[in-house]
Structure formats: structure tokens, C-alpha cells
Amino acid sequence: MYLGLDAGTSEIKGVVIDENGSLLASAGEPLTVQRPHPHWSEQDPAQWWQATQQVISRLRNKIGDRWSLIKSIGLSGQMHGAVLLNRDGKVLRPAILWNDTRSAEECRLLTEQAQELHDIAGNLAMPGFTAPKLLWVARNEPEIFEQIDTVLLPKDYLRWMMCGEKISDMSDAAGTLWLDVARRDWSDSLLAACGLTRDNMPRLAEGSEPAGTLKAEIAREWGLKDNVIIAGGGGDNAASAVGIGAVRPGDAFVSLGTSGVLFAVNDQYRPNPQSAVHAFCHALPHRWHQMSVMLTAASALRWLCQLLNTNETTLLSEVATLSLSEQQQSPIFLPYLSGERTPHNDPQATGAFHGLTHATNRAMLGYAVLEGVTFGIADGLKVLEEAGTHLNECSLIGGGSRSPWWAQLIADTLNLPIVTHLGGEAGGALGAARLGWLATGGAEAEVCKKPDIQHRYIPDAGRHQQLMPRLSQFRLLYQQQVLARKTLN
């Protein structure tokens, strides 16, 4: 059996699969995000480890006597987070997360200081990435920066706790802006631009390679054998791709989690930073991928439910009863609650409802949020197509994939068939387990099969045409927001 752990933003999730790839058990433990100042987003790494212990305990209880048969552990996690360790392995400050936007000025400085950034890293400098965070620490917390011995990504902090080794994989490392993405190695020049060297970085491994062995004391505590291999693992989206079987060029998926991602597999490195498209290494060797990333997706629906004192199931059922006329009279929602990446690279972007009237009810607000997030995905598809990536079909994963109504809305908006899969909500944790299986000798063709199709959503051409005027208005409203900010400044 194989264990997969996903260190997400909102929870630590774990799954166990067997030698047939069947999902045997899953468990999760929620996490909280601290926002002590505007644009800040932080978590205490100790919380990740405590939550991991809880998940292990629950999975162990669910699996029972077969638990000790686990051969390997795969890791997946939220990308870009900066965990700073001193020489003694002490965490120096709370981890700065992917959706923290405080380092906009540092992005400008990094771009000036590292003229080769776009060619080597294949991405624009954005506040979400790791490198600008370290420049921010150097400028604002120099006493912390001087003590840094190692910078780890979130899932690699868990690995370090499990095995005592500082190792990262190619897909996660590609999101730091310190990796030479084409060569799959650290870039000395990009590290130097941030006052760091490769001595401050973890060792690199492919996601499907062995990358550590569980400590004997942890194995005993968890009830596992003392030779359990830890795989290199992957950033959350690359691991999710492995879980959904998106491992061949042309494969693609949309992930609706805290963030929203449109992910396409490539057989070569295809950077297109001008459109804020991400070009990263895949979690599997000799492959890369492109992503459009929006910072707020399913989390916008959770945000609205909290404001309205309701739950997602209730609100989604109310949205499904709206007539076409009511949908067209609903407000337009800009989903930029944490700024935005693709295609705007705008940490100052804000969310907004436009077109509120006395007739607006909470179901119409719910519709507006679903539609606004979907329009953000459409913006991502547009720039991927401009970068030469053309899709014929797209899988849908993440928490948002549980809503058939939302899935159909995505199909109609993108004018693209959308497919959901059995177990698709397992996401990165399932992919992590599969990477663990590969690290013990599993064959890719067997391990990385696409899960069975749960449902296929065929786009409605008429509905697509009805949505296009609202999409145009959505794009215009963002441009008006930018213009208003420039005028006020």
C-alpha cells in the first residue's frame, strides 16, 4: 500500500491506495491562515506537523491491520511558501504563503537585478513566488535573513520532519524563481540576486524518485516499518496531474480549490511569461507544464457563504433554481479577493460585485461568484491558447468539482467538454500516493492511469453565446478598476 499526504492551504489531507491503485481511505485535518496585516498570508509550520499527525492517526484507524503494509509515502503541497530554518533547524518566522502579496516592490527589484530571470525561470516575478518573499525578508527583517541556513517549501518541511533530509522536487522548486526550469537545476545567478547560494537550498530529486526514508522513531510512532521510502513528490498541481492521469502532452485539467488552476502538460519547456502564464517542471521526468493560476476560486464561494451565514450545499441548490433571466440579471463578480496572477499579475486587484439592485437575492450572489470564478478560468484559457496550447477536453478536480451545476457552467463558458472522475476530489494526495508507488518501482503506465470517468459535461453552444456578453463586461470591469486606481494615485 502507498500513503499520499497533501499539505494544502486549508487542510492536510491523506489517502491510502493499494497495489491496484484503489483508494482505501482518506482523512483530513483543517488548517487556519493568519493575516496579521493587509496583503499578508502566513501559517505556522508546526501546525502542519500537528495536523499531519492527526491525519496519520485517522488513516491508521481506518486501515486497521493492513496499515503496516505501507511501502512508501508521497508528498504534495501548496507551492511557493517560504519556510526559513536556521543552522539548528529552528523555524525563524511563520511561513509566508503563496497567496501573500506583500512583496510587489520586491518583484520589481528582482526583475531589475536579474535580467535573465524570464529566460531561466520562465515566469514573471510575482508576489506569490518564493524569491520575492526572501527579498522582502532581507529588506524588512534583516535580523531574520542573517540567520537563514535553509529555505524549504511547505511539503519539504514535512519531509524534513519525517526523515531529517532537506530535499525538494523539480515541480515544486520551479515555483521559487530560483530554478533553471529547462535544465532542472538551481540557478546560481538567480539565487545570488536574492543574497543566497545553492548551499541554502535543498537537494533536488525528480518527483517519482526516492527522496528520503522515514526516521525509525517516526515509523515506530506511526506503526510503520522502518524502511518506508519517501518519494520526491510534487507541487500540488503537478501531483494532482499525476493523480488524474494528466501525464502526456495534451492532457489538461481545471482545479477548483482555494485557488483556481488550468493545467496543460507539455513535452518541452514552453515559457510565456508575458501573459503571466506559468511554465514549470512536471513531477515526472522529461516533462513540463503550463498553468494559468487565479488566486481565488472555490474559496470565493466559502467566503460568500460565511457572509450570508449559510453553507455551500444550500447555496448551490438555490443557485440551481435560478431561471436564465435571473442569471442574466445577477451582478457581475470580480473574484480578485487576494489580487490576481494570470493574466493580470496584479496584487492590487480587488473583488467586486457590479450591478446590485433591490431584486438581487443571495442565490443571485451565489451565481455571480460561480460565474466570476469561471470567467477567470476563461481568461486563463485565452492566454494559454495565445501561448500555443490548444485543448480538446479538460478534466475537473478539486472541491469545486463536486458541483455538477458548476461543471456545466465551466463547459458552457469555455466551450470545451469537461470530465469529472471518480475520486477526483482526492487531488494532490492521490497523486502523491502514486508518486510514492513509482518511487518503489511501479510502472508509469500502470500507476498513472486516468481514473474512471464519473460524468462528461458537453458544452451548450447556445448557452455559450449567452454568456459571452457577460464575459466581455467582466473583462471591461477589471480594466475600469485599473483605470480608477491609476486616477486615484
Q: Cβ distance 56 to 111 under 8 Å? A: no
If you search the block for the grid coordinates 476530489, which residue do you land on? 425
Using CA atoms, how far apart are residues 5 and 81, in angstroms rounded to an integer?
Answer: 17
Q: Which amino acid is at 327?
A: Q
Q: Cβ distance 252 to 246 under 8 Å? A: yes
Q: Which amino acid is at 431?
A: G
Residue 364 labelled as part of a binding site: no
Using CA atoms, how far apart are residues 13 and 426, in angstroms rounded to an integer?
Answer: 8
In sequence order, which residues have a C-beta less than 8 Å from that of residue 196 and are 6 or more positions away? 134, 148, 151, 178
Using CA atoms, how far apart are residues 434 and 327, in angstroms rounded to an integer?
Answer: 41
Using CA atoms, how far apart are residues 187 and 174, in angstroms rounded to an integer?
Answer: 11
Assess whether 236 carries a catalytic annotation: yes
Selecting among 169, 180, 236, 412, the annotated active-site residue is 236
Residue 282 labelled as part of a binding site: no
Strands 2-7, 72-77: pairing kind: parallel
Q: Which amino acid is at 443?
A: A
Quick one: DSSP state of residue 123? S
In sequence order, which residues have a C-beta less than 8 Å from that of residue 137 and are 6 or more positions away? 82, 84, 93, 96, 144, 145, 148
The grid cell for 65 is 491491520
Q: Give the residue numbers annotated as catalytic, written as ranges.
A: 236
Binding residues for substrate, as ranges, are 79-80
Binding residues, as ranges, are 79-80
